[in-house]
Structure 1
Amino acid sequence: MSVAYFTSEEHFSHFTDEEHPEHAMRILAIEQELKARHLWDQLIHIKGEEATIPDILRAHSKGYVDQLHLIQPEHGHIYVDEDTQMSPGSLRAALWSAGSCTSALDALMRNDYQHAFVATRPPGHHAEHKKAMGFCFLNNVAISALRAADQHHLQRIAILDFDAHQGNGTIDILGNDHRFMICSSFQHPFYPYSHYQEGRYNNLINTPLEAGTGSATFRAEIESAWLPAVRSFAPELIIVSAGFDAHRDDPMAELCLLDNDYHWLADQIISLATPRSTPVLSILEGGYHLGALGRCVAEYLQPFVKHKA
């Protein structure tokens, strides 16, 4: 089956200033690299949709969503936390980002595709049930996961988060829900300065990494901590928080992964998905060095494109 690439020009509505690392050029850098490697034409390109309020309210409180609408500025920027800029179009972009993810989910559930990659912004995995943070307003992964459980009646959904920063928002929303297994690798101690323990959340596998961690240690940790657990869980759906800021060139973290580590990660995910033809939904999170981001997304997608037949 084909690999679907979901995106939307609505991400341009979320305008951040020139100094902010989360900006529109991230999506353009990915597109440029995919075209340079002749992967672009091998993907099925689909424009996402705006998220529905019922989907949003599964993951976020009504009061929080109402607050986002109330504080959205008419011009310029405000900061909803010390890192997260909000412009007049930010909420619209966030709704389209989440909706692109749920559109991709529904396409996978219809068996239209075996894998979907969602390249939108703003990212989502730091957004908690009642709180925006870390460049994130709406938690795309949690919104998609809860829709998969409630609307598509899935009972075993694995969430794999290899961003350099722990997906605290995903854990906040989905922690201790037996329908989900959350695997999170991240630099520690580091933003968001949380280190949730497995004893607090019975569906969480933490993989904290020291600054300077490179390929060998990272791969060994994933092989020992994630792969056996996910195989035992036998997920009906795999959702990936695909952050690429653990690359050694990325200015936002201090891990030392290389381009081909993301090719390796895709191979491992495919090995988990293949035995049961499990659909895989990958959602862009971090990645702030434009060159490294484009290369690593291309490395990550290449095995899926090759495997599509």
Structure 2
Amino acid sequence: MKPAPFRYHAPETPGEVVGLLGEWGDEAKVIAGGQSLVPMLALRLASFGHLVDLRRLDELRGIERRDDDTVWVGAATTQAAVQRSEEVRAAVPLLARATQLIGHFQIRSRGTVGGSLAHADAAAEYPAVALTLDAELEAMSPRGRRTIPAATFLKGVWTTALAEDELLTGVRFPVWSGRCGFAVEEFARRSGDFAIAGATVALRVDPAGRLDRCAISLFGLGPTARRATVAETAQLGTDPLGTDAEDIGRLATEDLDSVPSDLHGSAPYRIRVGAAMVARAWHGAVQEALHD
């Protein structure tokens, strides 16, 4: 099939973009890499009267270490650029490790950080990473600029806190310090497929060897990525060597609701897989934190 007719725009500044979004409202859609949007348009799962292309907006690309101990990644930065970045590997290792799991290299060469976050696919890696690290997303509109915590950005299936006239401009990922460990695990039918279930884990141990910071996120197990707050709270202050990873996996997934059931697997199957992914990621993160 072919997309429904639309008018194409290629503005040169973020101000022009939000002006178009403000003018056309829900009839306008931003396109960056197009790796998710173009197939939806081709299958007519979505239709917009105006497509606003970000390809000329160089100021939305780049990776920078900021003075406030964050790494800023421009929304139009490609996933391939993130994967190549030494800065990301050193300062935000969870983001680097999740990136290599996204699709295939052809997809990563076009797909963007902001596009993945704004698309908000429940099985995507970047929303889970942003949640785990308590990232902050920067947006602008005709009303000005604002910062949206990752915890409130994701609303549901393909739904975020962005207003119709808002443009996602960048993401700030906090840099964790101390004895930290990070891991991401996912299960997919084939390499490059969307995950049936996945988990991200970030943790830190204090000088006494106790956990003083812990974050666990799940993806592919509901309408959006979500934090496993009950499991996180239960582990704070504990000796990570004395915990059972499989118990943590079960605790992280025991209160899930709205787990999808489809041709890729039933809800109970996805929950079992999700628990296993949490356990694997937990073990990997603990090993890294204690042997760093």
The TM-score, its normalising length taken from structure 1, stands at 0.25
Question: If each structure's strand is expressed as a fraction of its own residues, which one has the higher value?
Answer: 2
Question: If each structure's helix is expressed as a fraction of its own residues, which one has the higher value?
Answer: 1
The TM-score, its normalising length taken from structure 2, stands at 0.26
The higher radius of gyration belongs to 2
